[in-house]
Chain A
Amino acid sequence: MNEYVIETDHLTKQYGAQKSVAELSIHVQKGRIYGLLGRNGAGKTTTMKMLLGLTQPTSGEVAIWGKTLLGNEKKLLPRIGSLIESPGFYPNLTGTENLRIFAALRGLKNRDAIRSALDLVGLPYRDKKLFSQYSLGMKQRLAIALAVMHDPELLILDEPINGLDPIGIAEIRSFIRALCHERGKTILISSHILSEVALLADDIGIIDHGVLLEEESLADLEAKSGKYIHFVVSDTGRAAEILKGVFHEYQFTVQDSHDLRMDPTRIPVAKIVSAFVQQGLEVSEAATVEESLEDHFKRVTGGEGIA
């Protein structure tokens, strides 16, 4: 049985007549990285805000470690580290001074917590540079340092690589992976960049217009979006009979009256086409197609794809 760290039940957020998040039910397993993938404005940030109690859901429930968030904030939130939207810090203070404030609020006893967190993200300890003078990448790193400073069991990171340079992205990626696989943290990240989620996540939830379209492990998704043979014929019903009767082949799906999709097979495509033609079918297309993850997402999201 899977142990869910985060479980939402028909979570909905409505602003006026517009549903920002609709009936969302996600399941984040312990010790895994869950990537919430969606276009800008898909409802990722609103979902994360509801998971942290920053926004109250219109309906539905959030359960973290099996407990409903509402009423258990004092017990649950200290075990969570988060980064939501842009990094927010006091501009008149240095990075260390900013972290010192949150360390005091969290009642952190470990004096090295701030230094360790800054070391992890590659920022200097007790630097004199004020937060207002930080570059976007440095601000993002400081926000990640704040999220991990109290050694939380669960991390909720909204677009954590925003504003980072390619080297920074690689560093943060391996850092997030290490947090999960070496230190057993459960991580929920959101992104609109498919390649990033594919490189990081163990499980993926695709969200579009506030609706969760698909929730599967990356391995299952990759299996789904692999190679297939695509036929365009005059009658797919007749073609299906030929595949079953002549070739004893059952691994195919009829898309509509003309389109038929078949899993890769050892039978040569030319032989199948020849059989179709001999049985009086018109074959206008027969091709081996390799669908990428991106193509799969495009299909799932209704052709709009993901940036």
Chain B
Amino acid sequence: MSAVLKVTGMSHWFGGLKAVSNFHFEVPEGAIYGLIGPNGSGKTTTFNLITGIYKPTEGKIEFAGGDITGAKPYRIVRKGVARTFQNLRIFGSMSVLDNVRVARQYRPASTLLASTLRLPSFKAEERLRKAEAMRLLDVLHLADRAKEQAKNLPYGELRRLEIARALATDPKLLLLDEPAAGMNPKEVQDLMALIGRVRDEFKVTVFLIEHHMKFVMGLCERIKVLDFGETIAEGIPEVVAKDPRVLEAYLGKKGGH
């Protein structure tokens, strides 16, 4: 399996504070990859570096074989990296459908379909985009909410809308920033199933950050554990879960099951 995302020697300082220290990782194509670590361990900073919000002080980020280090965020998105936010960043006073459409509009409407159907006009393209947006809402069980103002949605649905909006940019790599935050166990269970289905249906690689251990252990195929900006373990869930340094970071010095 080739790596869709490859990070080498990435470090980032905020003034004198080293938020991310010499990161190396490869996210295999098609995987569900998890990055875990306590608060302040550099998880969200990693996402901000990958998506171009910050420029890494050192190191290189390669996506789908091309160098994206320090590129502008909108260019990185258009290359195929999408993300959701830990603290929901939905466009509240736009409709649910428009939230998805605004993320869709910089993608060519499915050109294959458009050319086979010979749809030349702008209006037809608009219709197609709308249909695509509706399909996304459908997959995420939000279709009946399409016309509603996004800010009126309950929390769980907003979380799903974030995923729908990210998928609308037609990504190869989907970054999820604490997707299970604030969810109850039932919702977490549903979300795990949903993320698996999204990966299969949209052929995306999923890269997620989480605190929720059970969620990560149950969903991810490969996990990287951080502590204070440094990697303390990496591998498949079964191995990482037994790593003494992980147990120490998460459960305290004498930790164990």
Q: Do A and B come from one complex?
A: no
